[in-house]
Amino acid sequence: MLIVICGPTASGKSGLALELASRLGSVIVSADSRQVYREFNIGTAKPSAAERQLVQHYLIDICHPQLTLTLADYQQQAQALITQCHQQGQMPLLVGGTGLYIRSVVQGLKIPRVAPHTELRSQLVSLGQPQLYAFLQQVDPTAAQKIHPNDPVRTLRALEVFYVTGRPISEQQGENPPNYPILQIGLDCDPSDLTRRIEQRTEQMLAAGWEAEVKTLCQKYGSDLPLLDTLGYREMKQYLAGDISLSEAKDLTVLHTRQFAKRQRTWFRAYPEIEWFDADRPDLLEAVWQRVQEFRKTPN
């Protein structure tokens, strides 16, 4: 059995998961695409040392900031950890807001194991998105139908897989769902309440030393490190460079986080198997716990 806790950023997934894992005597498998990287701590809202002592967390701090953890890498490690938990009689919790990480596990996505090719990518990018999409329509019309003409990330990946393997990515994809029961819990709340949560988290990040963290990372790895162009780090980097004020960096982080959360909500709402709970209901823990208890009685 597997329990998934998902939803937009700042909706309270980590806190709920900690409580549930403590009651179950289980572990948490992170599904966050930035928490996998070491040293990126405050800006990614990683669980604290005390929280990690309370409940064992996996797939956090597993990759060097200058390397890339692919979706296939993540899936392989997550599946291995879940199997290990099952062998030990545990029911793990898969927790996070990276939808593709969660889909890769619960749907058993078949992912072409093609590592990013920097030189090939740079050559392709130089041609421009309209030309790349035209190429994709020629070599893999099936994939082109599923990819928006203005989606450079997926267009580039599809072409990369084709040129490296000689086979269309659409022929190498598919699903192989796991054979164990999965309960998917989604947390959400009113957009205005989510904005309040995001504002509070941003203030907490500043109080925890977020500015110093970004400054240290810029000095250590250079400000052109791709991870430093992600949500929160980009805005703080602009402040450190003197381009904007600290107040503007904070406001931009809140704005961009709200926009990101909206995209996450849209993603997760597309999956009817997710059971939604209001993150602000006073009896949230007990309501979810009751559902977990019902799930545990489900025949395997």
CB count in 10 Å sphere of residue 156 = 18
| Alpha-helix runs per DSSP H in 128-245 | 129-139, 141-146, 152-165, 169-172, 191-207, 210-221, 233-240
Residue segments in the chain with a per-residue pLDDT below the cut of 70 = 113, 300
Instruction: List all residues 6 or more positions away from 150 whose beta carbon is below 8 Å from its beta carbon.
Output: 129
Which residues in the chain are classed under CATH 1.10.20.140?
A: 118-172
pLDDT confidence of residue 279 = 94
Nearest-CA neighbor of 2 among 110, 104, 98? 104
Q: Which class does domain 118-172 fall in?
A: mainly alpha
DSSP-assigned states of every residue in 156-188: HHHHHHHHHHSS-HHHH-EE---SS-EEEEEEE
Cα angle for residues 152, 157, 163 (degrees, 5° grid): 125
Output Rg (C-alpha) for the chain, integer angstroms: 20
**Predicted pLDDT at 193:** 92
pLDDT digits (tens, 9 = 90+) for 194-246: 999 999 999 999 999 999 999 999 999 999 999 999 999 999 999 999 999 99
Confidence (pTM): 0.84
Residue 214: its pLDDT value, please?
A: 96
What pLDDT shows up at residue 160? 87
Q: Any alpha helices (H) in 34-70, and if so which ranges? A: 49-54
- CATH of 2-110+176-296, picked from 3.30.465.10, 3.30.310.50, 2.60.120.10, 3.40.50.300, is 3.40.50.300
Every domain range in the chain assigned CATH 3.40.50.300: 2-110+176-296
What pLDDT score does 300 carry? 64
Question: Model confidence over 46-55: pLDDT tens digits?
Answer: 999 899 999 9
User: Which pLDDT value is given to residue 255?
Assistant: 95
| Residues 44/75, Cβ–Cβ less than 8 Å | no
